[in-house]
Amino acid sequence: MHFYGTAAQNALGHLTVGGVDVVDLAREYGTPLYIMDEALIRRNCRAYVESFRQHYPNFDVAYASKAFLCTAMAALAEQEGLSLDVVSGGEIATARQAGFPMERTYFHGNNKSPEEIRLAMEVGVGRFVVDSTRELHLLENMAAERGRTVRILLRVTPGVEAHTHEYISTGQLDSKFGIPIAGGLALEAAREALRLSHVELTGFHCHIGSQIFDLEGYRIAVQRMLDLAAAVRAETGFTASELSMGGGLGVRYVEGDRPVPPEELVACLSAAVRGGAPERGLPLPKLIIEPGRSIVAEAGTTLYTVGTIKEIPGVRTYLAVDGGMGDNIRPALYHAEYECAVANKLGSERTRRVTVVGRYCESGDVLLTDVPVAADVAPGDLLAVFATGAYNYSMASHYNRFPTPAVVFVSDGRADLVVRRESFAEMAANDLLPERLRAGAPR
């Protein structure tokens, strides 16, 4: 069995993470439960920062909040010297609540609302990552009203298609994100940005996809981004001081996944920019990357309680848990795969094959298909699903009116609750019942 980070098996045959027995976590915090290995998160953050210190003189590592964000995660990122990539007013508010320095935030989004832009200006977001010429002019007008100037990166699409699922490939030409380099559209957007009085262009941004195992796409993207920077300089005299290459590095979800270590990505990007910029007569820009999944995915374990086990002879065995698509939509959305184990019976032989399903009213509520588990698995046991730290909590829903699970950080034998389990009352707190609909009201 493959263990991630600090995960291990103790003398009782139980799974431990961060030196904490998950059976004890289930007893104290209930299930479903998101468990985050704090030491592994910190190790991944440091791998990026320390690699850049070795390979490149001027850099920024911005954690992609969309992968997993709560106030504790924002605070951890700040402690590790990371900036934040935020994509909504909610993520901005969470970062601010954590006391994160807002000048170290990059505000993304292909359709930012005026309300979100207003909030971002008020709290002093460091960079707006502009996704369209419409946004350029919206920023110009709103900044002018406030008598200020905002700094921006232009998000462009370099036409690089990463080898990944089509729904999470965002660098190719046909994408809802960014302004294409092809056809001179990005060059024209840069010209337009430079004509505006309340927008300060600092550089360019791209993101070529997610769950990437092949670094060649990054190398090609760097060359195309530097070509754009050189073309903009030749046309306008503007020299980009910042170049953001996004995130997207892959992680191990199942046997056979071969992720590239962060150190290799940093070395690849650094070498490409250090070689390519001088070739085009450009000074070295500040190099920015935005890892998310590769920092938190493998640090997450979701813990469930086993319920009904239904065997259909000659077909399959269904093992139902007390969560499902409401706390992990990725299998239904992306056909994502995971590995699992019966957390309180790690010593048992894993000879029984089951399909793990959730408790939601959808036939597509399947978490894992035909996976091995302990032969003696029974109702009441605990099932651990690994590598669930990225996008599971972030994409959790109230479907079927189930509350969202709790989140705990574990480290050095200690567990800290960082997100309380939502109660039924909290879930329904925004519901309003008009008088005419109350019981006994005349129809």
The pLDDT, as a whole number, for residue 252 is: 97
The continuous run of DSSP H or E covering 342 comes out as strand 340-342
Residue 24: φ, ψ to 5°: -65, -40
- Amino acid found at 442: P
What global pTM score does this model have? 0.95
The pLDDT, as a whole number, for residue 163 is: 58
Contact 92, 86 (CB under 8 A): yes
CA distances from 365 to 166, 326, 327 (A): 21, 9, 11
Contact 15, 360 (CB under 8 A): no
The pLDDT, as a whole number, for residue 177 is: 77
Contact 199, 139 (CB under 8 A): yes
- Cis peptide preceding 32, ω within 30 of 0: yes
Nearest to 153 by CA among 113, 176, 125: 125
The pLDDT, as a whole number, for residue 169 is: 45
User: What is the 8-class DSSP label of residue 5?
Assistant: T
The pLDDT, as a whole number, for residue 439 is: 86
Q: Which two tokens stand for residue 301?
A: 């374990």
Write out residues in the chain with pLDDT < 50, as ranges: 165-169, 171
How far apart, in whole angstroms, are the C-alpha atoms of residue 292 and residue 356? 27
Nearest to 422 by CA among 398, 399, 400: 398
CA distances from 210 to 76, 90, 207, 326, 356 (A): 23, 23, 8, 22, 26
Catalytic (active site) residue 45: no
The continuous run of DSSP H or E covering 201 comes out as strand 199-205
Contact 30, 417 (CB under 8 A): no
